Structure 1
Amino acid sequence: MKDPHAMPESSRLTARLLGPARFTCGGEEVELPGSQLPQVLALLVLGDGRPVPMDTLVEHLWPDRSGTPTIRMAQNLLSRLQTALSAVGHGGLSVKKRMITLPDADSDAAFLEVLVSEARSAQSAGDPATALATYDRALDLVNGDPLESFDGPVFTHHALLLSHLIEQSRTGRMEVLLETGDYRLALDAAHSLLVDDPLSQHATKAYMVSRYHLGDVRAASEAYMQFQKRLADELGLDPSSDLQETYTKILRGEPLAADATVKAATTEAIPHELPPPPANFVGRGIETDRIDRILRENSRAEQPTVVAINGVGGVGKSALAVHAAHRAVELFPDGQLYINLHGATPDAEPVEPGLALQRFLRSLGRRSDERYLNLEFDNRLDVEEISARFRTATSGKKILVVLDDAQDAKQIRPLIPSGSGCAVVITSRLAVTSVDNAVPIALQVLEEDSAMDLLAESTGHREIGERSGLLREIASYCGGLPLALCILSARIRTSSPVALPELLNSLRTESDRLDEFADDERCFATSLAVSIRDLESSEAGRSAVDLFRSIGLHEGTDFSVEAAAAMVARSSGEVRRRLRLLETARLVVRTEPRRFHMHDLVKLFARRLSEELPVALRREVVDRLRCFYLQSARLAHRIHDVKAVDREICGEDFDSVRAPLTTKEEAYEWLARELSNIRDLSRRALKPPFANPEFAGHLCLLAIDPLLETYSRLSDLVPLAETAANAVVEPHRPWHIHAHLSLSELHLQFMKFDTAEVHSEAAMKSAEAVGSLRQVMMVRSYKARLAMVSGDYSRAMSVIHRVIPQVRRLGFLDLEAWQHVFKSLILDSRGFIDAAVESSTESVELAKKQGMATDNEYRFCAILNNHGFRLLRTDRWAEAHDVFADVFSILGNRGQTRSNIYAEALVGMGKVYEAGNRRSEARECWRSAADIARTLGMIDEDQWEMVVESDARNIDSLITSRNIDAWRERVRKRQLKKSDQRGERPGPPVTK
């Protein structure tokens, strides 16, 4: 009959890791050249069929590197491993969403774990023969040190676990031999253990008992005396009371009763109280692996291991804790305790620690502590006393304790066991910081793909079909919260298909959305209400709740301390203290030192609470918030362009609270970070009950001008420009002109020339109606740029020749300078290089006369860059060098070295160096330009790699928009794409 515990000899992969590593498949050796392939395969085998994150491989193989390059290197290794496995007939790896699984694999390490568990079970069931045979099989697997072929923290961790299992096998075998009276073999086993660990009291007692039963009392006594001296010398400790009692009985010649042997009989129960594993558990791979690793390292700890999972209500803390606990059951053979402490359960009082301890002692079958199980624990002394009994009951044991939904550390601390082999997994909304050695795990919402997987699995829609779009939109409204996803899943699963669009319509309605996340037992809003209830128990908490209500009137989910302070008219210091309480209650999450985020559903709950405020107070809060954003944007706009006040966008209120902005870098950074809030605030300002179109238009325009020159994702600015254009109450206002000009420029960037032309005409009509000559000239100047970029050079030159004398006569030197920039670009593209340089030189001189070098240095540097590139075309390298050096000096002094203008200057300087055979300096310039372009989003990761691999020579075509030929090529490709869609091929673009 075949041994069921024998290592398989089939087409499955077999790994031998308890000694020198060896991998076989169907009896054939797996060829794994190099050192990394065996490591990767060993890591996957040790995963025991569980998915291993790609990041785990990267962290092990390249601990000092990260990012896309290392991920690709790992992917290459996996491809090579796939080839090696296929060569021996193995099915290979499964890679899904950067999680790697190795199916059809066995290892001696996994067999060892199974055999040790079966042997312990047989030993507990009173079947010593089976236990002894199984322990022998387990030890036969060992052929050296576990994982001796590998190095690294991951393998060291697994090697420690496997060494512990081997030690358990040797110890268990020794115990069985003592129980069966085979004292000679027990003596050999004890001696072997003492060679490896001379301070083992367990093995010392077995050695003494064996010697005593073999009639060698003197040797038994000497063993005790030597152990006593060794323990005192090395650790300064005395032997345990049990060992001392055994020594006394040996000296007196008294018989050693069965309960005094190494394995004493016990009447204590082994509890298995974990709830069933959560159904449809998805995601959380990183968190699960981390908890698994912490619990497995517990075997070497000197005190209980504590894992504290915290997060907002409904984020899936309990599911993760139970899931992780079930994965680690075999590590805690003495039992698993579970209790729901109801720290944040609606309509339920938190469980008193004394009552929880009573339950634990009953579960452990502590009959000797029966008198403690009936006490009424009304004072602190009683809790301390029963907590001490619980620590006694868990001393020397391996027990896992799951404390679900804890309220605070005061409730938790008495429930911590004392055994060094014990572990505790805590879930709570508050971060547990005062429990010694607790490892915090802050649980975040599920990623989009995991949320979709959970919804699809729970509803039975595993096959992606017609309803996948609806399901994905439903998942988006849940914001990655498992509780919300599970509530909606249950409704979808039990309802008819026609109810799905109805549910989706309710979710799309903001006022109804929160009510959809409730069923007969669960309610997300009620769950959040518990946090509010707990906060309102103190005066400081009530102030925090007042702030929470006010934040509900903020349109965005992300906000700064300064914005929150403006809403409640309090100091930033006071608001920070209130926000700290809200953060502790997991109602807000800190994302940066002075910024916080609210989950979408939490934000809806806050808005619902804000509706309880009087209308006048709500309007006051909204007005203060709008004033903060308007004046902060006004300050950022003024820092960007000190001469922009003549645009009459909005007046400045020096008494209002504003963001602390002093430099251009700070102004641009603030605008970019607040862009989504500015968009949401302006949109809401167009709707009742607190409509204010003037505010919406002003705020959008103040943000657009600086961002047009510094922000990489221009598509994000289109909604702002559209809102500004739609917010006009009366036509032909000064800021109406700028709204349409901004829209035209944005559409021009996307090469939508017809739409850009429409908005430029609208801007011209408003400028003429307003009667401002400068505004009219500004729009005419822009029309020259529009014609040039669209490829109509003849029309562009015609506009330029009309505009230049007009703006010169009116003294608008900055507008004249830009006309010469456009003219130089067109002349250069037509081959008139000298004329182009002359025109670009004129643009620089005019800009200097206008004072742009000090008032608007960013645009001045753009003009300098244009002149520098024209000089390059005539091989005037020294002059070009000086021009680009000026750009570096001006932008460097103002802290704008991470801008597209600076990157363009680096490209030009690289060309200067290349012409002078200074290749290394040229490459350095181009590489720096590519880094800036990647940071700004001008090029993606693949383009960056392409630039670097090509010695950075093609960076010009990627980030430099000053070359008109590049624009023409973009126009041509766009025309080709449109004609392909129509099924025709156009000729080359016509140049008039």
Structure 2
Amino acid sequence: MIDAVGDDDGTGIGRFVRARRRDAGLTQQALAGLAGVSVATIRDLEQGRTRRPRTALVDRLAVALGVARGQIYGQKPAARRDRGLWLGVLGPVTAARDGRALDLGEPRQRGLLGLLALSAGASVHRSVLVDAFWGQSPPAAAVNLIQAYVGRLRRVLDPDHAPRDGSGVVVSGGTSYRLHVDTEQLDWLEFRRQLAVAAHPDFDVVVRCEAYEQALQQWRGDPLADVDVLRGHPAIAAAAREWGAAVAGYAEAAFQAGLPDRVLPYLWQWTSKDPLHEKAHAMLMLALAGTGQQAAALDVFADVRDRLDAQLGVRPGAELCEAQVRVLRQEASGGPATTVAVQAPPVPHQLPAPVRRFVGRDEQLAALNEVLDSVPGGPGPAIAAITGTAGIGKSTLALHWAHEMTDRFPDGQLYVNLRGYDPGGAPLEPAAAIRGFLDGLGLPDERVPRDPHAQAARYRSLIAGRRMLVVLDNARDSQQARPLLPGATGAMVVITSRSELTGLAVGEGAETIDLPLLGETESLRLLANHLGSDWVARHADSAGELVRLCDRLPLALSIIGARAAAHPDSAATVLMEQLRDARGRLDVLTAGEASSDLRAVLGCSYGYLSATAARLFRLLSIHPGPEVSAPAAASLAGAPSGVALEELTRAHLVIEQRPGRYALHDLLRVYASEQARQCDDAGEREAVVDRVLDHYLHTAHAAALLQEPPRDPLALPEPAIGVRTEPLTGDEHASAWFDTEHAVLMRCVALAARTDRTRHAWQLSWTLMTAFSRSGHWSDLATALSLALDAADQAGDLTGQAWAHRFLGRVRTLQGEYEAALGHLHQALELFGRLGDAAGQAAVHVGLIRECERRGRHQAALDHAKRALELQRAAGYRVGETIALNNVGWCYVRLGQYTEALSWCREALAAQQAIGYRPGEAYTWDTLGYAHHHLQQFDEATWCYRQALDLYRLFDDRYEQAATLARLGDTHAAAGDEKAARSRWHQALDLLDELHHPDGDRLRDKLRRVTARV
């Protein structure tokens, strides 16, 4: 209360009220409405003309100012959801921090958060949670699972807070848990706070209606709607009952205020949820009659009467019967014995003309139709947010769909261009947009309130209960669009924006429709709309190239089509030549106006970026693509870049292809490159290339060593300052990283070779050997190694030449190009000899073993194996020594000396197990299996082969799996089990065919012969 702020004559209280009113952003008229007093009373008090104001007046002002701080007339509660933590349980369980959605994990984990939220402020015992999730048959680990859910929720909801009992968002107290949030963080608490305002008897009835509206807007569906395991839980049922009570309270207030239309959508929803609830149906009848729909009201009575009779065998109660009588007597507008005069409101048609030559977008049109179909069922407006990069066709889609669906909006269509990214001016203020809507809704000037907040409330009142479409085109962000959303209506809102509008998706349940580039077929159709189908058919290659050069961006295709339309044959050829020059491509993509100049359109989005995000956008054009991870982007910039990446993603200047993976489409890359050349000097751009290549080289090197831990590492120089490598743990993680970055690594090798960074080129190729060999990407390996070899030759780098020749020898062997492989191996041997690199020479001898074998020169192969062993021991390379021991064993096998082979292989296996070299173990087990097979020890052979297979599968080495499966099949066949043999051979053949390996043909011939014999 205001009880210690001034002297007895009231001037102190007046100054206090004036200061607090202004802090809350209220006019005297708005405060008077909140407090239920006259404007003159407020004016007199603030000017000191009221001496010793009555206590009741002071109390009402205190409560009203408190309501203002709760933002009934100011910023809606939903707007706060873009800042800090926001939790939603009135519908699917959601969470967001600073407007960005958080991953809440599996259903039971989300359900735990939901139950704590519905009991916010109170402790929930662990046993209650166990019973809710598993009933009478909980698993033995139920308590541990609950603790794990709590731990994960803490990390997601409060990542920067060190969890301690008694603090944080999820608070532990012994065996109980409690959610510690306030009304600005949880929709359930905000719902209850607004209900408290709505129930306050001293407030004006219109203010109470507004509070009910705000309360019910918190609901996005049934509480915890996406947690099926909790369906029917008592806490959810209790919350649903509170929703029904709120609708009833709103209906009573709306009847008193003469605004029955505002509550109609909620009453329809209530009766749909509970088709036998008599109070709900009685209120629906009165609301319908109050809006002039007496016949519909009587239909509701007839329907519920029939249901009560059919399902319960009872007649309508007194409340329903009284409602029927009031409808028949036309006494249903809110007060007794009153009649409503209904005047048809004007029907606005503000949509601009649709864009001609619309093509495709079937998936997005279907998504808009789905949102439209949800209009009758929800308490608030159905919202579709069409988002995407500049020139992608957002407005075109919105207007095309809107014109197709005008018959579904019989009460009219409102449209405004919010100019969020207009090259010609500043974004439109929401207040100006609302004023335009009031004009469209036919409100006379003399009835338009002066206060902008009152205008917004009037706009929501006028549109309430009407089937209308509101198109908010070119919105800058959620903050610009949110004040223009209707309240509880049967309306639909379509918003277009280059921003993500995450705040609307989280806070208002907007359905986000992200617009991709056109498909190739759609792009050709758009081009044909300008140049004619015949021209596209006759010049298929040229049309395809135009589509590629325009990057399938609708604006670019439309510009080119329009420029070439008059003389398609000659103009298209000239334009295509100009487009091929990447640096001048944007010069071609202009039609003479800012709105149809791609550079200007992109420049408007770029101009809104912060300095950090703008710099990152420019530097991303230097990354070789096609995607960049967050750590790679940080290395690119030489500084943390998470916030900048989020900003670029929200602005649709980069695309988050997958979680944590970002890309620029080609025309954006061209524009970013232009800006980089203008804003960043050559030295900075060169430093970016160094950081990018260092990022991938050092990360790939670490990953290669994880795949083969004992592998002798490269002597890499320290990475450039600012480089951040990706943290990898274990072989599986390393393999997944290589799979993810495959295309990027190939482009990095090409970039290194093209920019004379020879060391990066051959060392990157070195890191790819294990990963690419396992997955059978031999062609890509050969390409990378050839680029590295050319770069090393030009730079005179003998070490790079030696390694490239050595690995090319291995790859050409795997590809079946044996003569080329032999040439590379001999050059590698000569180069390693000149360098005095014993381990390198030994590795080449291993490659020569394979070539000798293929020629049947098994004694020469043994000589190479023993020479490799000598060299590895001389170099002190323990891993290489164990490989050489197995190779000697293998050569003895091929010479038919199986007992001797077993001796060498057992020594190799013991050494490999001692140092943990598991890839080597796999090879040695395979050799042991082969030796046992030829000693007629089939059970021992089978066991050894299976050990090898387990390891090869662990490494996902498909070629070696195939080779071992083929030999295991031979063992089964020798043991007389041809069914098992054929099974193993077929498994091997599937792998070889998947790898397109020539050995598949030999195995296929073997299977044909066996099948024919059977």
**TM norm structure 1:** 0.61
SS of 2:451's equivalent in the other structure is helix
Aligned match of 2:473: 404
Q: Distance in 2 between matches of 1:209 and 1:315?
A: 48
AA paired with 2:489? S
CA deviation digits over 1:444-488, x for unaligned, max 9?
223344334433444324576563223223322333322222223
Quick one: which of 510, 526, 548 aligns to 2:600?
A: 526
- Whether 1:322 and 2:396 are equivalent positions in the alignment is no
- Whether 1:603 and 2:669 are equivalent positions in the alignment is yes
Segments of 5+ residues of structure 2 without an aligned counterpart are 1-275, 299-314, 874-880, 1006-1014
Q: Distance in 2 between matches of 1:774 and 1:911?
A: 35
**Quick check: 1:550–1:610 contact (8 Å CA) kept in 2?**
yes
The verdict on how the C-alpha distance between 1:711 and 1:840 changes in structure 2, with shifts beyond 3 A counting, is farther
AA paired with 1:230? L
SS of 2:470's equivalent in the other structure is strand
Q: Give the drift of 1:633.
A: 2.6
The verdict on how the C-alpha distance between 1:846 and 1:739 changes in structure 2, with shifts beyond 3 A counting, is farther
Q: Distance in 2 between matches of 1:447 and 1:762?
A: 48
Aligned match of 1:384: 453
**Quick check: 1:732–1:769 contact (8 Å CA) kept in 2?**
no
The verdict on how the C-alpha distance between 1:774 and 1:412 changes in structure 2, with shifts beyond 3 A counting, is closer
- Whether 1:268 and 2:356 are equivalent positions in the alignment is no
The verdict on how the C-alpha distance between 1:372 and 1:311 changes in structure 2, with shifts beyond 3 A counting, is farther
**Quick check: 2:776–2:958 contact (8 Å CA) kept in 1?**
no
Q: Distance in 2 between matches of 1:446 and 1:753?
A: 45
Query: Which aligned pairs between 1:105-116 and structure 2 lie closer than 5 A?
Result: none
CA deviation digits over 1:82-122, x for unaligned, max 9?
xxxxxxxxxxxxxxxxxxxxxxxxxxxxxxxxxxxxxxxxx
Q: Distance in 1 between matches of 2:997 and 2:335?
A: 96
**Quick check: 1:649–1:698 contact (8 Å CA) kept in 2?**
no
Q: Give the drift of 1:595.
A: 3.2
Q: Give the drift of 1:239.
A: 8.8
Question: How high is the sequence identity, in percent, across the aligned residues?
Answer: 23
Q: Give the drift of 1:335.
A: 1.4
**Quick check: 1:630–1:698 contact (8 Å CA) kept in 2?**
no
The verdict on how the C-alpha distance between 1:413 and 1:910 changes in structure 2, with shifts beyond 3 A counting, is farther
SS of 2:502's equivalent in the other structure is coil
Q: Distance in 2 between matches of 1:423 and 1:310?
A: 17
Aligned match of 1:967: 999
Aligned match of 1:775: 840
Aligned match of 1:229: 319
Q: Distance in 2 between matches of 1:452 and 1:762?
A: 51
- Whether 1:793 and 2:865 are equivalent positions in the alignment is no
The verdict on how the C-alpha distance between 1:881 and 1:752 changes in structure 2, with shifts beyond 3 A counting, is closer
Quick one: which of 660, 665, 672 aligns to 2:727?
A: 660
Q: Distance in 2 between matches of 1:963 and 1:566?
A: 35
Q: Distance in 1 between matches of 2:848 and 2:894?
A: 14
Q: Distance in 1 between matches of 2:997 and 2:334?
A: 95
Q: Give the drift of 1:356.
A: 1.8
Quick one: which of 614, 630, 647 aligns to 1:545?
A: 614
**Quick check: 2:958–2:991 contact (8 Å CA) kept in 1?**
no
Alignment coverage as a number of residue pairs = 695
CA deviation digits over 1:207-264, x for unaligned, max 9?
979999xxxxxxxxxxxx9899239999xxx9999853598668xxxxx8xx84xxx4
SS of 2:943's equivalent in the other structure is helix
SS of 2:662's equivalent in the other structure is strand
Aligned match of 1:681: 748
Q: Distance in 2 between matches of 1:968 and 1:590?
A: 40
CA deviation digits over 1:8-48, x for unaligned, max 9?
xxxxxxxxxxxxxxxxxxxxxxxxxxxxxxxxxxxxxxxxx
CA deviation digits over 1:662-682, x for unaligned, max 9?
422233333332333333333
Aligned match of 1:724: 788
Quick one: which of 941, 954, 958 aligns to 2:990?
A: 958
- The answer to which of 863-872 and 616-625 deviates more is 863-872
Q: Distance in 2 between matches of 1:735 and 1:971?
A: 37
The verdict on how the C-alpha distance between 1:333 and 1:709 changes in structure 2, with shifts beyond 3 A counting, is same
Q: Distance in 2 between matches of 1:781 and 1:279?
A: 64
The verdict on how the C-alpha distance between 1:451 and 1:761 changes in structure 2, with shifts beyond 3 A counting, is farther
Q: Distance in 2 between matches of 1:358 and 1:545?
A: 35
CA deviation digits over 1:624-648, x for unaligned, max 9?
33332232233233334455547x6
**Quick check: 2:563–2:571 contact (8 Å CA) kept in 1?**
no
**Quick check: 2:703–2:734 contact (8 Å CA) kept in 1?**
yes
Aligned match of 1:297: 374
CA deviation digits over 1:30-67, x for unaligned, max 9?
xxxxxxxxxxxxxxxxxxxxxxxxxxxxxxxxxxxxxx
Q: Distance in 2 between matches of 1:741 and 1:860?
A: 23
Aligned match of 2:922: 861
**Quick check: 2:898–2:931 contact (8 Å CA) kept in 1?**
yes
Aligned match of 2:868: 807
The verdict on how the C-alpha distance between 1:513 and 1:854 changes in structure 2, with shifts beyond 3 A counting, is farther
**Quick check: 1:737–1:763 contact (8 Å CA) kept in 2?**
yes
**Quick check: 2:909–2:924 contact (8 Å CA) kept in 1?**
no
**Quick check: 2:289–2:332 contact (8 Å CA) kept in 1?**
no
Segments of 5+ residues of structure 1 without an aligned counterpart are 1-192, 213-224, 251-255, 376-380, 536-540, 828-834, 927-949, 974-992
Q: Distance in 2 between matches of 1:714 and 1:232?
A: 84
Q: Give the drift of 1:440.
A: 1.6
Q: Give the drift of 1:724.
A: 0.5
Q: Give the drift of 1:342.
A: 1.0
CA deviation digits over 1:426-457, x for unaligned, max 9?
01111223331212222222334433443344
SS of 1:954's equivalent in the other structure is helix
Quick one: which of 690, 697, 709 aligns to 1:630?
A: 697
Quick one: which of 587, 595, 600 aligns to 1:515?
A: 587
Q: Give the drift of 1:346.
A: 1.0
Aligned match of 2:680: 613
Aligned match of 2:635: 566
Q: Give the drift of 1:344.
A: 1.0
Q: Distance in 2 between matches of 1:319 and 1:280?
A: 7
SS of 2:694's equivalent in the other structure is helix
Q: Give the drift of 1:514.
A: 3.5
AA paired with 1:407? R
The verdict on how the C-alpha distance between 1:750 and 1:807 changes in structure 2, with shifts beyond 3 A counting, is closer
Query: Which aligned pairs between 1:201-280 and structure 2 lie closer than 5 A?
Result: 201=286, 229-230=319-320, 243-245=331-333, 260=341, 264-266=342-344, 268-271=346-349, 273-280=351-358
Q: Distance in 2 between matches of 1:451 and 1:719?
A: 32
The verdict on how the C-alpha distance between 1:204 and 1:747 changes in structure 2, with shifts beyond 3 A counting, is same
SS of 2:503's equivalent in the other structure is coil
Q: Distance in 2 between matches of 1:881 and 1:233?
A: 86
Q: Give the drift of 1:586.
A: 1.8
Q: Distance in 1 between matches of 2:817 and 2:564?
A: 43
Quick one: which of 476, 484, 501 aligns to 1:415?
A: 484
Q: Give the drift of 1:749.
A: 3.6
Q: Distance in 1 between matches of 2:354 and 2:476?
A: 23
Aligned match of 1:42: none
- Whether 1:432 and 2:501 are equivalent positions in the alignment is yes
RMSD: 4.6
The verdict on how the C-alpha distance between 1:494 and 1:742 changes in structure 2, with shifts beyond 3 A counting, is farther
The verdict on how the C-alpha distance between 1:567 and 1:210 changes in structure 2, with shifts beyond 3 A counting, is closer
Q: Distance in 2 between matches of 1:211 and 1:353?
A: 37
Q: Distance in 1 between matches of 2:898 and 2:570?
A: 69
Q: Distance in 1 between matches of 2:744 and 2:589?
A: 26
Q: Distance in 1 between matches of 2:480 and 2:870?
A: 81
**Quick check: 2:517–2:553 contact (8 Å CA) kept in 1?**
yes
Q: Give the drift of 1:405.
A: 0.6
The verdict on how the C-alpha distance between 1:441 and 1:839 changes in structure 2, with shifts beyond 3 A counting, is farther
SS of 1:303's equivalent in the other structure is coil
Aligned match of 2:578: 506
Q: Give the drift of 1:341.
A: 1.2
Q: Distance in 2 between matches of 1:491 and 1:875?
A: 79
AA paired with 1:229? E
CA deviation digits over 1:482-501, x for unaligned, max 9?
22222233234344424444
AA paired with 2:601? S
SS of 1:660's equivalent in the other structure is coil
